[in-house]
Structure formats: structure tokens, C-alpha cells
Structure 1
Amino acid sequence: MAEAARRPLLQIIVASTRPNRVGEPIARWFAGYARAHEGFEVEIVDLAEVDLPMFAEPEHPRLGRYTLDTTKAWSTTVARADAFVIVHPEYNHSFTAPLKNALDHLNREWANKPVAVVGYGGVAAGARATEALLPVLLGLQMVPVAGTVPIPFAGQRVSGEGDERVFTPAPETEAGAKAALDGLAGWLGTLGLRGVR
């Protein structure tokens, strides 16, 4: 009997780890939007919960010979994804140290998988951080899609308290999210990952 087709798994990575980060409600909103897109299974991966130590493996990640349980668990998490969305703020004109550390921990688990970027901040909307991030993604042989989602003054679009905080997107943000998801789905189709591999 043929194996039933499955939708590709999209992981939404929350790149900020500080308390009260705006990225958390943005990621929840994007996850809901992606589920409504109906092209993906969706999972939020919060780097604050992953809580990786600074990279300390004795061998290069490209070899895949991990010794630390934290690295092995992170490898398993990332390897099961077919595509990624990275939700990141801009710190001092670049992206966060926890995100760089999480990317550097692995190698082939990222390779040949499409990725979209949701940057947020003040007037620059995370654009400088996104620009700094893209060469890293290319170095890992990921496939950044053309549709990025810059969100200016993101904090002004979040209401509520604690875990009940809600991000309300502007129309152009929703349009950017749709373009990003369409780009991811298009690449997955090109790579032959619309159904079971």
C-alpha cells in the first residue's frame, strides 16, 4: 500500500531569546498564517527554549559527529524540517548571537532547504540584520526565497500581556508573508518535496 502524502514541515525559528521579545507574538501570527496557507505542517522552534550552549563540539559540524546531547537534539529538530522561516530582530545593525550560534551548530541539516526571513525592528524594519544574515544562510547552502517580510516599528503592532500578546500585521506585512510562503512552496515543488520523499 502506498504511503500517504504528507505536507512539508515548515519550522518557524524565533531568533530572539530575551524576555518580552516581540518575535514571539510575530512567530505565532506567522504560524497561524502559514497554517491557513495550507501548504505546510507548521512548528515553532523557540531558541530560548532550545537553549543551546555556545558551540563547543570538538569536530566541524559538516562531519555530523556530535558529542553533546544538546547538539544531537538540535540536529534531530532541524533535520526533520523541509523549510524554515527565521523571525529575527536587529541588534546593532545585525542579527542575534543566539541565531548565529544555532546556525553554526549544524551544517548538512540546513543544506538545500528553502528559507524565508521575517525581520523586525524600528524604522529600518530589521533590514540591516537581514542583509547580514543572508550570506550566512548561503554559506550553509540554504535557499533564501526572494520574499522577505520586513516589519517596521513592530512593537507598536503588539497588544496584550505575557503569553496573550497578539501581533496585528499591516496589510503589506500580510502581503509579504504570502509572497514568502508562496516562494517556499515553489522551491519545495522544485526540489520535489510536495509529498513524501
Structure 2
Amino acid sequence: MKKYLFFFICLMIMTGCSQNIQSHSERIKTPLNQSWKLFPSIITNFEVIEKPLRPDQMKWNLHVKFGNPETHVKVVLETSGVIQSSEEGNKALEWTEVQEGETATVTIAVKAKEFGQGSMKVKVEAYDQDGKFKYSLNPTQYFLVTKEEVLTGNNGVTELELQHIDHLNQKGKISDKDTKPEKKN
């Protein structure tokens, strides 16, 4: 099996499949109006409006900056786990004729229905003048809601769990001994 895999890789290299990968200098020559073909030309950023976060009401601003003019943009909020939208239904927003360099801001309100883990994902989708899908970006914010605190981040729940353990350790609610793995003989 390894021999066939090695043969396949050599064949791919010899037939020029690697020609599809552009060098850095070729990417620089790509026209700006075609840059979305390489990478989505939108940048997103979540910003907390009210701190500290409370489980019953968490307000965020989502800033969406467009690198190219877009004919039609759609934004949809999706929640999972203990996180739910504070407003009825998953609200979809739409913008038309977005200009290059324009930044749009969406206010998002979510709440936790109980303690636990959850997330909110915002799907930002761009369409051309014929309504054909071009690209999307899905920024996600993860939540860990405990009786002591609400933690958020964009790297997943495991990181939040480790932060929570560290906070409990700093407050003296657990000891270093409780956080160390047991040695097995």
C-alpha cells in the first residue's frame, strides 16, 4: 500500500498538479477584483458591549469589513448548546451594494438558558449580482457558562474550561493538587 501511495505522489508531482499552487509573486499580481477567489475579502471582529457578561443577557457587536464591493450580503446567527438568541427566531440581515472598505456593524444579543457550553456562529455570505453564492465566513464565539462566571473565546470550549480551572485555582476554590494528573505506577 505504501508503495502505491509513494507512486501516486510521484506521479502527481511529475504531471504538474503542483502548478495550481501560486507562488507569492503570482498572488501579488492577481487583480484586486479577483482576490476573493483566493481568500474571502471580509474581516470580522466580535466586540463585547457590556462587561461583565451575565448569563441572562450578553450583547455583542459584530463588525464586518468588506475588502471588495459586494452586490448582496446575508448575515445569519446560529446558536448551539446552552446559548440562544435573545430575540425571537434566528434573525437574518441583508445588505445590498456594499462598498469596498465599508464596515457594517450588527448588534447581537444572546443568553444562556442554563449552565454549560455553547456557541454562536454568524454566517456572513456574499452573492454576486445574479444571486450566485461567492464565498462566506463563519466567525464563531464559544461560551462556558458557570455559576461563577461567563467565559468566551474563539478557540473552542477546551480553552475556556482550562481558564475556568485556573480562575477557581486563583480564588482558592480548588488547589494545585486538584489540577495535577495522578501518577500511575
TM over 0.5: no
User: Which is bigger in relative contact order (C-alpha 8 A, separation at least 6)?
Assistant: 1
TM-score (norm 2): 0.27
- Higher Cα Rg: structure 1 or 2? 2
Give me the TM-score of the superposition, normalised by structure 1: 0.26
